[in-house]
Structure formats: structure tokens, C-alpha cells
């Protein structure tokens, strides 16, 4: 059986407006997210680097919303950060990759410290911990230009990004209409539901065991 895959992403000429570079980046992020999360594809069935671009845009989008503190609080997914970092390396953006790697290491080492500050109503102190990473990001913005423009030019150079005058401008409706469901989509959804159910079951058992141990220990005193 032929392996189903998406070999290209077709865009209309109006989607290549260089004056709003973030728009194209955002639409490609939404396309890839729809293919993975709704249509049933996996990363290997998408164009090269497309899935990792989704992770890079998640990082950048959170940074735009609230700096590295927002990245830490709203993503908290080390594997996603690392995929984004590896893509930065393939894009030859070593300074930005080094920044992201430093942020990843800091987030891992200081996870308990950050959580304790929030738990003790010291949110401002927690946010200040991430200021050096934001300062470095802004230094790179001033030196190299805006990151969304860098991502835009990287995208338009991808052989899998095809300009098609017959395509309607990007919209969620157009994205969904352009992505056929993967033949194994339902099987993959069922498998993921079973995995999550097993994971939740294991977590519930662990919670019950901790409660049992606590009660037994209390009764012994």
C-alpha cells in the first residue's frame, strides 16, 4: 500500500505578502497543526522540517505573547523546545539556537525554583528570572532583523512551498479543505485514546497507592 503523505503546501500569491511576514508563518503553523492533530498525519509524512517548524512557531508565538516566561509557563515541553532548537541549527541560526538551548537548560534546572516562587505569590520574581533571555532575544532582533521576517524568507525558499494562483487565500476552512484525511487517521486516533486511557489509569493507580501508603503510615502512629 502506498504511504500517504503531504509532499507540498500550496499557497495563494496573496499569502506571500512580505509586508506582513508573520501571517505566512502563522498559516503554515496552522496547516501543519491541522495535518497532525486533525487529519491524522505524523511528522515523517509531512514536508521536510514542516513538523519542527510548528514547534519553532509555538516557541516564537509564546515569546511574542509574553517573552520566555510565557514559553516556560505555557509550553513546558522540553521535547518541543529541542525540536525547535535542532531546526534553528539546520537553518544556520546558531546564535538563536544557543539562546534557546540556554533557556531549555535553565528551565530544566530551575523548574522547582520557578514553581516555588509562583506558589509563594512571587510571580514577579519568577518572571524576572527570564529577563536575560528576553534581553538576548532583543539584541538578536536589533542585529539581524525581526525573527518573523527571517522565518518568512526561510519558508518561501522551501521547495515544498508552492505558489498556486488557483488557491484561495489561507483560512481555516481552506486549510481543512486542502488536507485529505490520512487513511489510518481513525486507527491512529483510537490508538492514541487507548494510550491516554492507559496512562491515566496508571496515574490513578499511583495516586491511590500514595493515598494508601499515607493512610497506613498514619494508622501506625
162-190 tens-digit pLDDT? 999 999 999 999 999 999 999 887 777 76
The answer to whether the predicted template modeling score (pTM) of the entire model surpasses 0.85 is no
Q: Tell me phi and psi for residue 171, to 5 degrees.
A: -155, 165
pLDDT band of 1, cuts 50, 70, 90: very low
Q: Where are the alpha helices (DSSP H) in the chain?
A: 21-37, 50-74, 78-90, 94-109, 111-119, 123-128, 131-144, 147-156, 172-178, 185-220
Identify the residue with better confidence: 218 or 2.
218
How high does pLDDT run on average in the chain? 90
What is the average per-residue pLDDT within 4-10?
Answer: 94
What is residue 196's predicted lDDT score, i.e. its pLDDT? 65
What is residue 107's predicted lDDT score, i.e. its pLDDT? 95
Percent of the chain whose predicted confidence (pLDDT) is above 90:
79
Amino acid at each position: 500500500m502506498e504511504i500517504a503523505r503531504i509532499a507540498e503546501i500550496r499557497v495563494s500569491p496573496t499569502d506571500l505578502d512580505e509586508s506582513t511576514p508573520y501571517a505566512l508563518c502563522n498559516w503554515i503553523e496552522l496547516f501543519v497543526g491541522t495535518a497532525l492533530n486533525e487529519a491524522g498525519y505524523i511528522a515523517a509524512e509531512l514536508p521536510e522540517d514542516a513538523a519542527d517548524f510548528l514547534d519553532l512557531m509555538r516557541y516564537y508565538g509564546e515569546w511574542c505573547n509574553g517573552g520566555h516566561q510565557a514559553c516556560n509557563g505555557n509550553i513546558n515541553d522540553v521535547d518541543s523546545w529541542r525540536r525547535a532548537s535542532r531546526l534553528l541549527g539546520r537553518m544556520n541560526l546558531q546564535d538563536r539556537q544557543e539562546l534557546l538551548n540556554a533557556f531549555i537548560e535553565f528551565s530544566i534546572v530551575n523548574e522547582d525554583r520557578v514553581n516555588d516562587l509562583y506558589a509563594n505569590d512571587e510571580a514577579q520574581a519568577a518572571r524576572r528570572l527570564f529577563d536575560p533571555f528576553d534581553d538576548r532575544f532583543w539584541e538578536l532582533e536589533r542585529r539581524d532583523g525581526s525573527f518573523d521576517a527571517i522565518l518568512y524568507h526561510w519558508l518561501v525558499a522551501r521547495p515544498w512551498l508552492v505558489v498556486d494562483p488557483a488557491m484561495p487565500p489561507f483560512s481555516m476552512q481552506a486549510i481543512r479543505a486542502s488536507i485529505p484525511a490520512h487513511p489510518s487517521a481513525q486507527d491512529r486516533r483510537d490508538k492514541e485514546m487507548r494510550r491516554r486511557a492507559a496512562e491515566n489509569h496508571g496515574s490513578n493507580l499511583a495516586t491511590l497507592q500514595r493515598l494508601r501508603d499515607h493512610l497506613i503510615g498514619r494508622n501506625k502512629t
